[in-house]
Amino acid sequence: MLQTLKQLYSETRTPAIVPGTGSYPVAGLTITTDLVVSFSLFFSGHSIAFSHISGFFAAGFLLLLLRLSGIDKSTAIMTGTTILQKAVSVVVYMPVQIAIRGGSIASLAHFGLPDSSALGLGILTAVLIGSYSSSLILNRSIHSSNWLSIGITLVACGFALRLVFFGAMEVIPQEAYYWNYAQHLSPGYLDHPPLVAATIYTGEALFGHNAWGTRFGAFVYGLLFIFIFYRYARLQVEQTSAVLASAFALLLPYFFLGAGFLITPDAPLSLAWVMALYFFYRALVNNEARAWYGVGLAMGIGMLSKYTIALLAPAALLFVVIDSQSRRQLLRKEPYIAVIIALLIFSPVIYWNATNDWASFAFQSSDRFDAPPQLFLGKMLTNILAIVTPLPLLALPYLFTANPAAKNASLPSPFTPRLRLFIGSFLLVPMSVFVWNALENEPRHNWTGPLWIALLPMLAWLVVNAGKLRWRGIGLLLRTFTIPLLFTLTGVYAILLHFISIGLPGVDFPRGTANHLGWPEVARNVLAIQKQLPEDAGRIVVTGMDKYFISSKLSYYGTEEFLGDNNKLRVTGNHLMFAYWNPAAELKGDTLIMLSRSSSDLSDSRLKPYFEKLSPTPLALPIYKNDFGLAGKTITEYYYRIGFGYKPSLP
């Protein structure tokens, strides 16, 4: 593997620093053109997004003219053997490189650089990153048979996108909510275990209160996840399939966002899940007794992340019951020591629940399912297709066949009956629990995400050998759609991340993005409202009238780091952990600034019983994003109203 990486590194350094040319003078000319056009447009009053994208295309057009005219005589090749293949490689390359530029610019601006400095340095940074990642797409002869090169290319591009956008994109409401965990460190919380809180706290202790510091732990988890996943895949398949499986484990939607980009409980859960599979495989299939200690460590870490990892225990038990070779494991001491290790790691959460009426365990079990029963199997399937695409589903039939090869094909399968039993147990047992739940209760979109880790090495092996498979229709689908799907996902991530971080020229933000964008501006506007209140208003508290989105975002961006001049908003909410941190009784007599998506939430009939006095009517509060020279167009409007002398309803 190391030799392969060295070879690819050497090949990507063959062209000049600008992909598409081997001439350093031409590269210098195109970079200069890029910077001149970008700065000229920016200082003429255009947004950074429009300026740097225009500079990129101006430089690309110049390079094309130089090559067509024969001035650039370099021998740099373009990916593909036909005009169409070369065009596709350029189409894939452009959004990735543009996104890397946009993410670099936005990240540098968020770190405090002036917009003009961020523009120039971001372009140069992206040129350097692009010469290592995107030039793999543009300057290599990649064919469907070269799966190893494709896998490494996709992994490189995926990590490049993650790296530049960590600090560029606003935290989403869920991340902001877990950031509040980190401000109230505890061995347990109502709705999740504490590892996500400790992770955020550590990241911000290292890098400060910003998106990079908040998400740093997720980035580390993502690196460890891919490293251990590759090791897990190599236990089953050869190097090429393992690398392609790693590309799946990075680029399928659940894994790209949940296993290494956004800081939610799914980030440490995914790492713990793949660790558990890796050590379970070594313990149960390879009969390595000491691997049980790794199982205990992984399960303990997983239980500190999200309780769903407990579903691996019945999966392992089913494998042991069916597989006669594994039953001897029950006579060893190591599995029981693993249970003790997991319980010791998990003990802080047990203690918190014991001292809080078992609130978290109840919330994650019976309290989750208080809604009237409905059938949600269709919703569950839709969720699966959205978070992992249809590709893994195409591999499921091969779990139940001993020989995946066509009759006239010689294809020795690494998936022995024991290995297929292992994959099936660790995929289908947890899945059956979610299917059972979906018979009456609505599933969350991310619940089944980690389950597919077990199947990805088999999926990759089937893709690599698609032309030799027994069911030729499935093989044709895998061979035809895998490359376009993975590169399309890469392009979609590039465009989407650029859009929500720095915008796209001429494209307005839709109303649905109001939960995610513009909250630094909202916090500043709420501070301005607060400063207009009379001095006798007493203590002023800001609260969101939804479940937790508004309160979470305002608390995150209502800090000194974002408001400056020692300003800070006091924010609370009515639901989940906010009710623990700020009980209603403690707010008695306070002035509340209440925000809602709907003016009806702020009506007299709903609020009058709880306040001595109310401001006359709900007022509109625009949600807009005003970074990087954007025009500040309103995304949508929320509403606010002020209540004086809060009167909590006490029993």
Predicted confidence (pLDDT) per residue in 444-464, tens digit: 889 999 999 999 999 999 999
CA atoms within 13 A on the CB side of 598: 5
DSSP string, 592-609: EEEEESSGGGG-HHHHGG
Q: Read off the pLDDT of each residue in 349-355 and give the average, rounded to a whole number.
A: 93
Tokens found for residue 581? 């941190």
Q: Are residues 478 and 559 in the same domain?
A: no
Cα 311 to chain center, whole Å? 23
Q: 344 — alpha (psi -120 to 50), left (phi > 0) or beta?
A: alpha
The radius of gyration of the chain's CA atoms, rounded to the nearest angstrom, is 27
Q: Are residue 346 and residue 462 in the same domain, yes or no?
A: yes
Residue 524 to residue 502: CA distance in whole angstroms: 19
b/e 559-574 (16+ beta carbons within 10 angstroms → b): beebbeeeeebbbbbe
pLDDT of residue 7 exceeding 60, the answer is no
- In this structure, how many other beta carbons lie within 10 angstroms of the beta carbon of residue 137? 27
Range 318-329 average pLDDT: 93
Of 143, 164, 194, the position where a domain reaches its end is 143
Helix, strand, coil content of the chain in percent (nearest 5): 65, 5, 30
Query: Residue 517's closest CA among 503, 527, 529?
Result: 503
pLDDT > 70: what percent of the chain?
89
Examine the domain organization and report whether 497 and 549 are in the same domain: no
The pLDDT of residue 535: 83
CA distance 81 to 143: 9
DSSP reduced 3-state for 271? helix
Is there a single domain that holds both residue 85 and residue 130?
yes
Residue 620: φ, ψ to 5° = -75, 140
Give 578 or 429, the one with higher predicted confidence: 429
Give dist(CA 22, CA 416) in Å, integer.
48
- The pLDDT mean for the chain works out to 88
Q: Are residues 71 and 135 in the same domain?
A: yes
Tell me: do 537 and 460 sit in the same domain: no
Pick the last residue of a domain from 121, 143, 165: 143
Q: Is residue 189 part of a domain?
A: no
Range of the domain at 413: 223-506
Q: Which amino acid is at 153?
A: T
User: Which residues make Cβ contacts (< 8 Å) with residue 435, sequence separation at least 6?
Assistant: 377, 380
Residue with the larger pLDDT of the pair 229 and 164: 229
Q: At what angle do helices 472-502 and 83-110 cross, to 10 degrees?
A: 40
Residue 440 to residue 443: CA distance in whole angstroms: 9
What pLDDT is stored for residue 477 in this prediction? 94
pLDDT for 412 equals: 85
For residue 141, pLDDT beyond 60: no
pLDDT in tens, 22-73: 677 878 888 899 999 999 999 998 889 999 999 999 988 888 788 778 787 7
Return the H-helix or E-strand segment holding 531: helix 519-531
The answer to whether residues 490 and 527 belong to one domain is no
Indicate whether 490 and 528 sit together in one domain.
no
Encoded amino acid at 143, one letter: H
Kindly state whether residue 190 falls inside one of the protein's structural domains: no
pLDDT at 146 over 90: no
Determine the average pLDDT of the residues in 198-221: 96
8 A C-beta contact, residue 249 and residue 453: yes
Q: How many domains does the chain have?
A: 3
Tell me the pLDDT band of 142, cut-offs 50, 70 and 90.
very low
Tokens 């993005």 locate to 513
Cβ–Cβ under 8 Å, residues 393 and 431: no
Domain-embedded: residue 319:
yes
Do both 294 and 326 map to the same domain? yes
Does 485 share its domain with 544?
no
> Who has greater pLDDT, 475 or 11?
475
pLDDT tens-digit series, residues 514-540 = 989 999 999 999 999 999 999 888 899
What distance in Å separates the CA atoms of residue 384 and residue 498, rounded to the nearest whole number?
Answer: 25
Instruction: Look at residue 582 and tell me if it is in a domain.
Output: yes
Does 494 have pLDDT greater than 70? yes
Query: Which pLDDT score, from 0 to 100, does residue 651 have?
Result: 44
Distance CA 90, CA 94 (A): 6
Q: Are 645 and 613 in contact (CB under 8 A)?
A: yes
Name, in order, each residue with C-beta under 8 angstroms of 491's C-beta and a sequence gap of 6 or more. Answer: 91, 92, 95, 96
Q: Is residue 381 part of a domain?
A: yes
| Cα–Cα distance for residue pair 395/612, rounded to 1 Å | 63
Band (pLDDT 50/70/90 cuts) for residue 82 is: low
Say if residue 496 is in the same domain as residue 586.
Answer: no
- Looking at the chain, the whole-number percentage of residues with pLDDT higher than 90 is 63
The residue-averaged pLDDT of 345-364 equals 90
Mean pLDDT of 275-304: 97
Is a pLDDT exceeding 60 seen at residue 248? yes
Could you tell me if residue 157 is inside a domain?
no
pLDDT at 58: 93
pLDDT over threshold 50, residue 144? no
Give the confidence band of 13 by pLDDT, cuts at 50, 70, 90.
very low
Torsion angle in degrees (nearest 10) through CA of 492, 493, 499, 500: 140
Assess if residue 193 is contained within a domain: no
499 and 522 fall within a common domain: no
Instruction: Tell me the one-letter amino acid at 478.
Output: L
Q: Grade residue 631 by pLDDT with cuts at 50, 70 and 90.
A: low
Pairwise CA distance, residues 477 & 479, whole Å? 6
pLDDT over 60 (residue 15): no
The answer to whether 255 and 154 have CB atoms below 8 angstroms apart is no
Lowest mean pLDDT among 14-28, 521-535, 598-612: 14-28
Domain boundary among 84, 118, 143: 143
Contacts of residue 324, defined as CB under 8 A and 6 or more positions apart, other chains included, come to: none
Residue 622 has phi, psi (to 5 degrees) of -70, 140
- Contact between residue 248 and residue 256 where contact means Cβ atoms under 8 Å apart: no
Mind listing the pLDDT tens digit for each residue in 149-181? 788 888 988 998 999 998 889 999 999 999 999
* pLDDT value for 2: 58
Would you place residue 143 in the very low, low, confident or very high pLDDT band (cuts 50, 70, 90)?
Answer: very low
Let me know if residue 149 belongs to a domain.
no
